[in-house]
A and B are shown apart, each in its own frame.
Chain A
Amino acid sequence: MAPLLSMKNVTAFYGGSQALFGLSLRMRQGEVVALVGRNGAGKTTAIKAICRLLRHRSGEIRFEGKDLGPLASHRAARLGIGLAPEGRRCFATLTVEENLIAAARPGHWNIDSVLRLFPQLRDRRSKVARTLSGGEQQMLAIGRALMTNPRLLLLDEATEGLAPLVRRNIWEAVSELKSDGELSILLVDKSLRELAAIADRCVVLERGRDVWSGTFDELTPEMAVRHLGV
């Protein structure tokens, strides 16, 4: 079976400066993979390349065997890639509800199920996103990505700024999704402890390359110190 997502030797640049130096990565259907690495290691860049917000220069990115290289980002998204981006990027002048429906596609996730996941958004349905608190915006960004009913969900620091309880709820929801085996998730997050509890596998990035990959059990403290500084 073709992997859900495969990246081979991907390089990418911002203008003249290189950010990815030959990154490779494979994900199976239903898998939850954590992408970890120091600040500036290239995690976000990898995610941007997958959803075509940044064109890679060389290498290959395939989703379900289909080459993403020539696709515009809306085409890639329609293949089933959903993004909760770093820095939230909610549509500031739209209401919560409008944010959610703007790019919704039919499926398991709809307004009701998202609001069940984030009850706090329910009271704020008709508030414009700009006036939400940081955490509320973060919830909205995740909810918005879910509303596209993706098969691959990209969560880039999606729990940043969320209260511990909310974070727990999200992780619980993620494990539920995971147990359905329908949704695959590529995660970037800072708390290794929390990642370890839910991710199947972890890929360590350093200076734009994947330097290690394996389960969290295999990630020894020495390696964690060497690659992640902890």
Chain B
Amino acid sequence: MAEPILRIYNLTKSFGALLATDGVSLDLKPGEIHALIGPNGAGKSTLVKLIVGELRQNSGSIEFRGVRVDGLGAAERARRGLARSFQVSSIFPELTVFENVFLAVQGTRGRTYRFFGNDISNAEFSHLASTQVERAKLGARSAAVASELSHGERRRLEVAMALAMRPKALLLDEPMAGVGAEGTRELTNLLKEIRAESPILLIEHDMDAVFALADRISVLVNGRLVSTGSVSEIRNNEDVRKAYLGYEDD
């Protein structure tokens, strides 16, 4: 079995008295989609923030491609291939859709300190960016200023930016939220395509999508990992059904 790309061990984070992440251990293997589900406020987004370095853990370790990264800054981790999308769209409102995505290319390639000239004229880089714009079905809006996008379009842009980072591991925080039924279907297909390039840690409340995509599912409740298993295991887990899914029948 292949070595995990990302491995977190015993990660703990507290906000004052609240233990948002409580000794979570988890890994992400090449080619897999690992879904992370759990009630609102369980600590899923917090976990993502810890992995990418936006928050500092109180204890525990994060290993990415065989190297400890928990001491590094967020930008450095991003350049090493840890890419995330945000639950609440976080974009550059005054830049165009293309520029938003292009920045992801520029940033992860470490090309920011080019003072004279830019890489937009560089065929390779701009192709990379426009490919992701197309993939997220934003091609028609490529030249639009991001502030003019509708909510769903922003959600798509969010995913496009994460993809443009050419990730070695992709952490997606509710990518299906807001994109509508059609968007969910498109995105489901897209993620299937991408898993070969990069494994995905997928946080989603849309269970149809999760069940359709995930190789493994982990359930987080109150900051603790309560179970990990295959789709059918989780689906039939009584506790999960009651506490999270909320259907007694199916």
Contact = CB atoms under 8 A, between A and B. Distances in A.
Interface of A: 14, 17, 38-40, 44, 86-88, 120, 131-136, 138-139, 157, 160-169, 190-192, 228-230
B152 A163 contact: no
A229 B182 contact: yes
A164 B38 CA distance: 10
A39 B205 contact: no
A61 B39 CA distance: 39
Q: Which 3 A-B pairs have the closest CB atoms?
A: A135-B40, A229-B182, A39-B152
B194 interface: no
A191 B185 CA distance: 12
Interface stretch (B22-30, B73-81, B171-179): B171-179
A157 B183 CA distance: 14
B247 interface: yes
B179 A39 contact: yes
Given A228-B182, A229-B186, 9 more contacts: A39-B153, A135-B205, A163-B205, A163-B244, A166-B246, A168-B247, A191-B181, A228-B181, A230-B182
B54 interface: no
Contacts of A132: 41
A39 B38 CA distance: 27
Contacts of A157: 151, 178
A84 B91 CA distance: 22
B190 interface: no
Contact of B39 (A14, A163, A168): A163
A138 B45 CA distance: 15
Which residue of A39, A139, A162 has the most chain B CB atoms within 10 A of its CB atom? Answer: A39
Contacts of A38: 152, 180, 182
Contacts of B183: 39
A134 B88 contact: yes
Contacts of A135: 39-41, 205
Nearest to B151: A86
B248 to A, nearest CB: 11
B196 interface: no
Contacts of B180: 38-39, 190, 228-229
Nearest to A43: B150
Interface string B164-206: 0000000000100111111111100000000000000000010
B135 to A, nearest CB: 15
A229 B244 CA distance: 29
Nearest to A229: B182
Nearest to B178: A160
Contacts of A167: 205, 246
A44 B174 contact: no
Which residue of B41, B45, B148 has the most chain A CB atoms within 10 A of its CB atom? Answer: B41
A136 B246 contact: no
Given A44-B151, A161-B174, A39 B40 contact: no
Given A160-B177, A164-B247, A229-B185, A133 B40 contact: yes
A165 B182 contact: no
B207 interface: yes
Contact of B244 (A14, A134, A164, A192): A164
Contacts of B39: 120, 135, 163, 165-166
B45 A133 contact: yes
